[in-house]
A and B are shown apart, each in its own frame.
Chain A
Amino acid sequence: MRVVVVAQDVVTAWGCGLGACWRGVLSGKPAVARIDRFDTQSFQSHIAALVPELDGRADESLVMQMLGPMLGPLAGVLPSGTLVILASTTGEVDLLERHLLGRAATDESRMDRLLGRITSVLGIEERGRIVSAACASSSTAVAHGAALIKSGERESVLVVACDAVTEFVYAGFSSLMALDPDGARPFDRARKGLTIGEAAGYVLLTSDAMARRENRRVIGEVAGWGLSCDANHMTGPSRDGGGLARAIEKALEKAGTAAVDLGSISAHGTGTVYNDSMEIKAFRQVFGGARVPMYSIKGSIGHTMGAAGLVEMIVALKSMEDQVIPPSANLEKADDDAREWVTSEMVMTVGMRAVLSTNSGFGGVNAALVLKS
Chain B
Amino acid sequence: MKMTIRNTVVRGLGWLDGRAWGLVRQHRREAYGEGDGPPPWTHGDLFSYPVRKLGRFDAVSRMTICVCALALKDAGVCSGEGQKQDIGLIGSNEAGSQDANAAYFKDYLQAGRVSARGNLFVYTLASSPLAEAAIHFGLEGPLFYVGFPGCGLVDLLDEGVRLIADGEAAGMLAVRADEREAIAFLIGSAEGRGMAVQEAANLIRANNGMDERVGELALRMEERL
Q: Which residues of A contact B (CB under 8 A)?
A: 39, 42, 89-90, 93, 96-97, 100-101, 107, 109-112, 115, 127-134, 136-137, 140, 144, 147-148, 150-151, 153, 167-168, 171-176, 226-235, 243, 246, 250, 253-254, 361-365
Instruction: Let me know if B125 and A132 touch, CB within 8 A.
Output: yes
Q: Report B-chain residues with C-beta under 8 Å of the C-beta of A110.
A: 95-96, 98
Q: Report A-chain residues with C-beta under 8 Å of the C-beta of B165.
A: 151
With both chains docked as a complex, state the minimum distance between the C-beta of B113 and any C-beta of chain A, in angstroms. Answer: 8
Contact of B116 among A109, A174, A226 (CB under 8 A): A174
Task: State whether A129 and B146 are in contact (beta carbons under 8 Å apart), knowing that A90-B101, A175-B116, A231-B138 are contacts in the complex.
Answer: yes
User: How many contacts between A and B, using CB within 8 angstroms?
Assistant: 177
Q: Report B-chain residues with C-beta under 8 Å of the C-beta of A363.
A: 125, 127-128, 130-132, 134-135, 143
Q: Report A-chain residues with C-beta under 8 Å of the C-beta of B167.
A: 250, 253-254
Which of B105, B137, B163 lies at the interface centre, i.e. has the most chain A CB atoms within 10 A of its CB?
A: B105
Task: State whether A147 and B166 are in contact (beta carbons under 8 Å apart), knowing that A96-B101, A229-B140, A234-B131 are contacts in the complex.
Answer: yes
Cα A363 to Cα B142 with chains together (Å): 11
Q: Report B-chain residues with C-beta under 8 Å of the C-beta of A173.
A: 121
Cα A100 to Cα B99 with chains together (Å): 13
Instruction: Let me know if B98 and A229 touch, CB within 8 A.
Output: no
Instruction: Let me know if A227 and B168 touch, CB within 8 A.
Output: yes
Does residue B124 face the partner (Cβ distance < 8 Å to A)?
yes
Contact digits for B108-128, partner A, Cβ 8 Å, 1 yes 0 no: 110001111110011011111
Cα A136 to Cα B125 with chains together (Å): 12
Q: Report A-chain residues with C-beta under 8 Å of the C-beta of B149.
A: 112, 127-129
Q: Report B-chain residues with C-beta under 8 Å of the C-beta of A97.
A: 105
Q: Report B-chain residues with C-beta under 8 Å of the C-beta of A176.
A: 118, 121
Residue of B nearest to A90 (CB): B124
Q: Which residues of B contact A (CB under 8 A)?
A: 84, 88-89, 95-96, 98, 101-102, 104-106, 108-109, 113-118, 121-122, 124-128, 130-132, 134-135, 137-149, 155, 159, 162-163, 165-168
Cα A89 to Cα B106 with chains together (Å): 19
With both chains docked as a complex, state the minimum distance between the C-beta of A13 and any C-beta of chain B, in angstroms. Answer: 23
Residue of B nearest to A173 (CB): B121
With both chains docked as a complex, state the minimum distance between the C-beta of B207 and any C-beta of chain A, in angstroms. Answer: 29
Instruction: Let me know if A100 and B127 touch, CB within 8 A.
Output: no
Q: Report B-chain residues with C-beta under 8 Å of the C-beta of A151.
A: 162, 165-166
Knowing that A132-B126, A171-B121 touch, tell me 17 more A-B residue pairs with CB under 8 angstroms.
A39-B113, A93-B124, A101-B109, A112-B149, A134-B125, A144-B159, A147-B166, A171-B113, A171-B116, A172-B116, A174-B116, A228-B142, A229-B139, A231-B140, A243-B140, A363-B128, A364-B135
Cα A147 to Cα B172 with chains together (Å): 16
Q: Report A-chain residues with C-beta under 8 Å of the C-beta of B137.
A: 231
Q: Report B-chain residues with C-beta under 8 Å of the C-beta of A250.
A: 167-168
Cα A163 to Cα B134 with chains together (Å): 25
Cα A110 to Cα B144 with chains together (Å): 18
Contact of B125 among A39, A100, A362 (CB under 8 A): A362
Q: Report A-chain residues with C-beta under 8 Å of the C-beta of B124.
A: 89-90, 93, 168, 172
Instruction: Let me know if B145 and A130 touch, CB within 8 A.
Output: yes
Contact of A365 among B98, B106, B143, B166 (CB under 8 A): B143
Q: Report A-chain residues with C-beta under 8 Å of the C-beta of B116.
A: 171-172, 174-175
Cα A47 to Cα B166 with chains together (Å): 41
Contact of A229 among B104, B118, B131, B146 (CB under 8 A): B131
